Structure 1
Amino acid sequence: MPTVALLTAGHPLHFELAVACEIFGNPPREATEGWYDVLLCGPGPVQVGPFTVEPEHGLERLAGADTVIVPACADIDEPPQTELIEAVRAAHESGARVASLCTGAFLLGAAGLLDGRRATTHWAHAAALSARHPQAVVDPEVLYTDNGSVLTAAGKAAAVDLCLHLIHLDHGATIANSVARRLVMPPHRPGGQAQFVATPMQVTGDHALTGLLTWVQQRLDQPLTVTDMARKVNTSPRHLGRQFQSVIGQTPIQWLLTQRVRRAQELLEATDESIEAVARATGMGTATTLRRQFKRIVGVPPDSYRRAFRSAKPA
Structure 2
Amino acid sequence: MSNFTISVNEFFLMGYSDTCELQILYSLLFVLIYSASLMGNLFIVIITTIDRRLHTPMYFFLRNLSIVDACFISVTVPQASINSLMNSRAISVTGCAAQIFLMIFMAYVEFTLLTVMACDRYVAICQPLLYPVIMSPQVCMQMTLTCLFTGILYAGFHTGYTFQLSFCKSNVIHQFFCDIPSLLKISCSETFSNTLSLFGSVLVIGISCFAIIIASYIRIFSTVLRFPVKEDQRKAFSTCVPHIIVVSLFLISSSYVHLQPPSDSGSLKDIIISIFYSIVPPFLNPIIYSLRNKQIKEAARIAMKRMFFVRNKV
User: Does TM, normalized by the shorter one, top 0.5?
Assistant: no
Decide which structure has greater helix share.
2
Structure-2-length-normalised TM-score: 0.26
Decide which structure has greater strand share.
1
